[in-house]
Amino acid sequence: MADALPELGGLLRTGLSFEVILVSAVWQHLHPSHRPRAFRKLVSLLKPGGLQALTLRHGPAEPGRGMHPVSLGEIEGLARDHGLAVIRRADALDSLGRPEVSWTSVALRLPDDGTGALPLLRHVILNDQKQSSYKLGLLRALCRAADGAAGLAQPAGDAEVVLPLGLIALHWLRLYLPLVRAGLPQGPGNQGPDGLGFAGPGFRALLAGAVTAADLRIGSRLSGAAAQALHLALKEATKTIAVMPATYMTYPNGGPILPVERGRPGAAWAPC
């Protein structure tokens, strides 16, 4: 397959993953500004427990070959950022006998948690197709739901469960309200509710105190203005979840990880 770093678009579309990836005498040809993205793409192709090996060329650049300086420290930093362990380093003289050229080989290991979930999470978090999609917010809301309301999940096959979308939206509100109230930016140039897709009239009413934090829980009974504010805020949150993170959180070879099925009110799909 003809492909090239840092894109690897064709290879990523195949959905393949590998136990070993060798990047030999390539790294010096990548501009330093392209290397973090290239490393991210390579990591996304590794299977759990997979090995990535790189050879780094040290020495003067050959005329007309577009070479850039490399260092072991750069690779070690990228490995730390992506959760890979450095398991071996080795220096060697140039096999062609060039005294001004030397090489460093480095082997990296992707941890295996036994479920294969780590590479998928890494892909979701680092995928750069859509930056402002609230994907981390959705992941946090799902974790809260799994921790505090696991009994509401309904099995749907061997690898999926069905979760009420309203449950995810409720945890979404509980997570974002204190952050927005404290003025903590949720994106570039953001402070407060302005610029947040889910911060409509309902969310702003909750922000103003229409419902107490203690009442944002399953089983609370509300009426009047409080019930209307919460109902509207939940609608705003579910719409944002459906059109943003649930749309842009995809598998490496395409297809939504968390498809929303609106035909049955209040349900969303999520993998086990």
pLDDT digits (tens, 9 = 90+) for 188-230: 777 889 989 999 999 999 999 999 888 999 989 999 999 999 9
Residue 116 located in a structural domain: no
Please say which residue of 77, 109, 141 terminates a domain.
Answer: 109
Please say which residue of 78, 109, 140 terminates a domain.
Answer: 109
Which residues contact residue 19 at a Cβ distance below 8 angstroms, ignoring those fewer than 6 apart? Answer: 46, 47, 49, 50, 51
Number of structural domains the chain divides into:
2
For 49, the 3-state DSSP assignment is: strand
Please say which residue of 109, 141, 156 terminates a domain.
Answer: 109
pLDDT tens digits, one per residue of 140-193: 999 898 888 888 888 877 667 889 999 999 999 999 999 999 988 887 777 889
65 and 37 within one domain: yes
Residue 85 located in a structural domain: yes
pLDDT tens digits, one per residue of 52-69: 999 999 999 988 888 999
- CA distances to 31, 81, 177, 180 from 198, rounded to whole Å, are 39, 30, 11, 12
258 and 171 within one domain: yes
Which residues contact residue 153 at a Cβ distance below 8 angstroms, ignoring those fewer than 6 apart? Answer: 146, 161, 162, 163, 270
CATH number of the structural domain spanning residue 34: 3.40.50.150
For residue 272, name the pLDDT band (cuts at 50, 70, 90).
very low
Residue 119 located in a structural domain: no
178 and 261 within one domain: yes
| Residue 115 near residue 142, CB atoms below 8 Å | no
156 and 96 within one domain: no
Residue 171 is part of which domain span?
Answer: 129-271
At residue 152, the pLDDT reads 87
Q: Residue 38: phi, psi to the nearest 5?
A: -60, -40
Neighbours of 62 (CB within 10 A): 12
Q: Which of 211-215, 256-260, 266-270 has the lowest mean pLDDT?
A: 266-270
2-28 as b/e, with b when 16 or more CB fall inside 10 Å? eeebbebeebbeeeebeeebebeeebb
- Chain mean pLDDT for the chain: 87
Strands 46-58 and 18-23: parallel
At residue 271, the pLDDT reads 47
Whole-number Å distance between alpha carbons of 199 and 88: 49
Measured in Å, how far apart are the chain's first and last C-alpha atoms?
A: 33
95 and 60 within one domain: yes
220 and 87 within one domain: no
Residue 16 located in a structural domain: yes
Residue 123 located in a structural domain: no
134 and 267 within one domain: yes
Query: DSSP alpha helices (H): ranges in the chain?
Result: 9-13, 35-44, 72-81, 117-126, 135-148, 165-181, 201-207, 224-243, 245-248
| Residue 124 near residue 139, CB atoms below 8 Å | yes
For residue 15, name the pLDDT band (cuts at 50, 70, 90).
confident
- CA distances to 54, 155, 226 from 79, rounded to whole Å, are 12, 37, 49
DSSP letter assigned to residue 214 = G
99 and 139 within one domain: no
Residue 41 located in a structural domain: yes
At residue 185, the pLDDT reads 86
- CA distances to 39, 44, 118, 254 from 8, rounded to whole Å, are 11, 11, 21, 15
266 and 143 within one domain: yes
145 and 70 within one domain: no
